[in-house]
Structure 1
Amino acid sequence: MAGPTSSSGRSLMAFIFFFVACLTSGSATSHVPFLMWSSHSLPPLASPTAGHITSSKELGVYLTSTFGSGSHTVLLFLQDKLSKDDFTVFGGVFGNKEESAFKNLEAAVQSSAASVTLPALEWAGLSAIPAMLQETLVASPLLVDEDTLFHLNINTSVSNLLLISLPYCNELYKSCKEVLQDNDQIIGKVLSFMKSRGLPYTAIYTGLQPSRVISETSVPSQPVGRSLLQTVELEVKPPIMFNQSGSPCIMLWAQNLNISLSGSPSSNWIDLAAQTPSLTGSLCNGTNSVLVLNYASGYVLSFFMSQRFYPVSARNWFSLDSVQLQANGLAASFTGRRSIYAPAEYSFHCKSVSSFQDALLVPDPTSQNSSGWRLSFIDFQIQGFGLANGTNFSYASDCASFFTAGIWMGLLTALLMTLIFVYGLHMILQLNTMDRFDDPKGPSISVPQSE
Structure 2
Amino acid sequence: MLRLSLAAGQFRARCPGVMTQLYSAASALLLCTLTVLFKTSVSGDHVPMLLWTTQRSQCNPDTALHEGHVVSAQELTVLLQPVFTQNSRHLIVFLQDTLSIDDFTYLSESYGNKNPFQNVQEILQSSSCLVLPAVDCEATRYLLSFLQESGAWNLTNITNLDVSQLEVNTSKPNLLVVHLRPLVSGLNKNFTLEAIAENDKIIGRLTMDLQERGINFSVIYTAVRPSRISRRTDVVGELRRRLMATEEEGSLSYPPLNVTAGSDTCILFYASNFSLKANSSVFIDLTNATFVMQNVDISSSECSDTNTTLSLKYTKPVNEISSLEIRFLMTNKFYGSSARNWSTLDSVEIVQDGEKFAKFNVSVISAPAEYSFHCQLVGTSNHYPARLIPSNNEAKNWDVFISRLQIQGFNVENNQFSYASDCTGFFTPGIWMGLVTSILLLWILAYGIHMIMQLTTNNRYDDPKGPALSVPQTE
TM-score range, shorter chain: 0.5 to 0.7
* Structure 2 CA distance for aligned equivalents of residues 289 and 274 of structure 1: 19
The answer on whether the counterparts of 2:367 and 2:421 sit within 8 Å (CA) in structure 1 is no
Residue identity matched to 1:382? I
Match of 2:146 among 132, 157, 160: 132
**Equivalent residue number for residue 149 of structure 1:** 163
Are 2:369 and 1:337 equivalent residues in the alignment? Answer: no
Q: Name the residue aligned to 1:186.
A: 202
User: Once the two structures are superposed, what CA deviation does each residue of 1:81-135 show, in whole Å capped at 9, x if it has no partner?
Assistant: 222222343458xx999654422112112222x3223233232156322222232
Counterpart position of 1:405: none
Shift in Å at residue 198 of structure 1? Answer: 3.3
CA RMSD in angstroms comes to 5.6
* Aligned-partner SS, 1:77: strand
Cα deviations across residues 36-93 of structure 1 (Å, max 9, x unaligned)? 112223567326242243322232234345226866332222222222222343458x
Match of 2:388 among 337, 344, 360: 360
Once the two structures are overlaid, the 10-residue window that deviates more, 344-353 or 60-69, is 344-353
Residue 150 of structure 1 deviates from its aligned partner by 0.7
Larger Rg: 1 or 2? Answer: 1
The residue type equivalent to 2:77 in the other structure is: G
Q: TM-score, normalised by structure 1?
A: 0.57
Corresponding residue number in structure 1 for 2:95: 78
- Do the aligned partners of 1:307 and 1:344 also contact (CA within 8 Å) in 2? no
Whichever structure has more helix as a proportion of its residues is 2
| Distance 1:123-1:292 versus aligned 2 partners, 3 A rule | farther
In structure 1, the residue matched to 2:66 is 50
Contact 2:88–2:217 (CA under 8 A) maintained in structure 1 = no
Distance 1:385 1:60, change over 3 A: same
Q: Secondary structure at the residue paired with 2:133?
A: strand
Distance across 2 between alignment mates of 1:373 and 1:390: 32
Match of 1:39 in 2: 54
CA 200–306 in structure 1, closer or farther in 2 if over 3 Å, else same: same
| Greater relative contact order structure (CA < 8 Å, 6+ sep) | 1
In the alignment, structure 1 residue 110 sits paired with structure 2 residue 125: yes
Indicate the SS of the match to 1:182. Answer: helix
Instruction: Report the equivalent of 1:382.
Output: 407
Q: Measure how far apart 1:142 and its partner are.
A: 1.0
Mapping for residues 163-182 of structure 1, pairs under 5 Å: 163-164=177-178, 165-168=180-183, 170-175=185-190, 176-182=192-198
C-alpha distance in 2 between matches for 1:124 and 1:286: 37
Asked whether the 8 Å contact 2:331–2:345 carries over to 1, the reply is: yes
Shift of the 247–365 alpha-carbon distance from structure 1 to 2, 3 Å rule, reads: same
Match of 1:67 among 66, 84, 97: 84
Q: Does the 8 A contact of 1:35 with 1:204 survive in 2? A: yes
Query: Equivalent residue for 2:136?
Result: 122
Q: TM (normalized to structure 2)? A: 0.54
Structure 2 residues not aligned, in runs of 5+: 1-40, 231-235, 237-241, 319-323, 428-475
- Alpha-carbon distance, 1:172 to partner: 0.7
Q: In structure 2, what is the Cα distance between the partners aligned to 1:260 and 1:180?
A: 17
Task: Give the count of matched residue pairs.
Answer: 352
C-alpha spacing 1:33/1:251, structure 2 compared with 1 (3 Å): closer
Greater shift, 49-58 or 150-159, is seen at: 49-58
CA 1:360–1:191 in structure 2 vs 1: closer, same or farther (change >3 Å)? Answer: same
Shift of the 48–399 alpha-carbon distance from structure 1 to 2, 3 Å rule, reads: closer
Aligned-pair identity in percent equals 25
Cα gap change, 1:208 to 1:388, in 2 (>3 Å): closer
Counterpart residue number, 2:432: none
Residues 116 and 325 of structure 1: CA distance in aligned 2, closer, same or farther (over 3 Å) = farther
